[in-house]
Chains A and B, each alone.
Chain A
């Protein structure tokens, strides 16, 4: 299954993660206009460290545009915890750990080698995917595409 395209209904999910509480997409979408789902292959691999740090750096800008960022990988929540602490990531890092990669699977970004693609989705408060992008796994996709898309979605 290819990555969910813009316009698709976003699969709902609930996952454990940092900070020590479950994250439920439907609940988050009641509190914010947009949720950015940033799937990444593995915690502590250097490129994604940079990517998550970058999003942390610009959390306020995402908030200004009505968006909350969450990172998702197949790592356990203990690994996510350690990763968040090591990198100073305050936004949720979710453990798509059991069944492994189930959420990535639903979004069409689970790879054959057991990790998620480096993929970005923006989900709006109607639960619709508004933006979808799959990056090369070793390349930091940055924040410009997301910020530009969010800006275009401001009414």
Chain B
């Protein structure tokens, strides 16, 4: 057997940068990166736990969300990701992300537009951004770097650049919290 994927930690290939959607201080001791797909049931079921962990660590954590729409299995995932990007152009990325995570798969074009309206977005700009080729390209690149970092499915989390190997899927709050605590302790050494 030669070296394979399981024998060393999976590291985030693309550092968190300016083109990322991120919350929390840039110099926080812990950065949590989530790769997710809005049409994925485990992402939706993991979302409350992840949100609670992010909230509870407050300023000690920066949270970054990246798209990993698996369109083979989830034909509506890419358009949903674009809707979040388009909302982001109008400063409503996180509001839309929340809405899409809780949409229980209602991600058809009519629903996406309804969510945009409910968030009070400028609909002409939203429509334009939904078909923006640069956004599609960004999604593709994000996905490719994701798979190269060892994102094998969704959700996949990275804590300070190292893939989180949680035993449970969907993500379990206590287990994730423990891993974040360990990273915090590590960062303070």
B70: Cβ under 8 A from any A Cβ: yes
Residues of chain A contacted by B71 (CB below 8 angstroms): 57
The reply to whether A141 and B1 form a contact with Cβ atoms under 8 Å apart is no
B4, A133: Cβ atoms closer than 8 Å = yes
Which residues of chain A have C-beta atoms less than 8 A from B150's C-beta? 142, 144
Contact B147 A143 (CB under 8 A): yes
- Docked Cα-Cα span, A7 to B134, in Å, equals 42
Contacts of B4 in A (CB 8 A): 120, 131-135, 141, 145
Taken residue by residue from 71 to 96, chain B's Cβ proximity to chain A (1 for < 8 Å, 0 otherwise) reads as 11100000000000000000000000
- Say whether B5 contacts A133, CB under 8 Å: yes
- Chain B 126-168: CB-based contact to A (< 8 A → 1; otherwise 0): 0000000000000000011001111111000000000000000
CA distance A136 to B1 in the complex (A): 13
Q: Which residue of A lies closest to B4 (CB)?
A: A133
For residue B32, give the distance in angstroms from its CB to the closest CB of chain A: 20
> Is A134's CB under 8 angstroms from B73's CB?
no
Contacts of A57 in B (CB 8 A): 70-72, 143, 147
A18 CB to nearest B CB, Å: 15
B70 contacts which chain A residues (CB < 8 A)?
53-54, 57
A-B contacts counted at CB < 8 A amount to 73
Chain B count of residues within 8 A CB distance of the other chain: 20
A132 touches B1 (CB 8 A): yes
Contact with B along A44-76 (1 / 0, CB 8 A): 000000110110111001000000000000000
When A88-B73, A133-B4, A141-B4 are in contact, do A61 and B144 touch as well, CB less than 8 Å? yes
A139 and B5 CA atoms in complex are apart in Å by 11
Within 8 A of B (CB), among A96-128: 120
A6 interface residue (CB < 8 Å to B) = yes
Complex contact A142–B73 (CB within 8 A): no
Which residue from A88, A133, A134, A136 sits with its C-beta under 8 Å from B72?
A: A88
B residues near A155, Cβ cutoff 8 Å: none
- Interchain CA distance A50-B71 in the complex, whole Å: 12
A30 CB-CB contact with B under 8 Å: no
Known: A54-B70, A87-B72, A88-B72. A5 touches B1 (CB 8 A): yes
Contact of A139 among B6, B72, B73 (CB under 8 A): B6
Q: Which residues of A contact B (CB under 8 A)?
A: 2-3, 5-6, 50-51, 53-54, 56-58, 61, 87-89, 120, 131-136, 139-145, 147-148
Q: 10 nearest interchain CB pairs?
A: A133-B4, A145-B5, A142-B152, A140-B152, A56-B72, A6-B2, A144-B150, A50-B153, A88-B72, A145-B4
5 additional A-B residue pairs with CB within 8 Å, beyond A134-B1, A141-B6, A144-B5: A53-B70, A133-B2, A142-B150, A142-B151, A142-B152
24 example contacts (A-B, Cβ-Cβ < 8 A) are as follows A3-B1, A5-B2, A6-B2, A50-B152, A51-B152, A56-B72, A57-B70, A57-B72, A57-B147, A61-B144, A88-B72, A131-B2, A132-B1, A133-B1, A133-B2, A133-B5, A133-B6, A140-B153, A141-B5, A141-B6, A141-B152, A142-B147, A144-B5, A147-B148
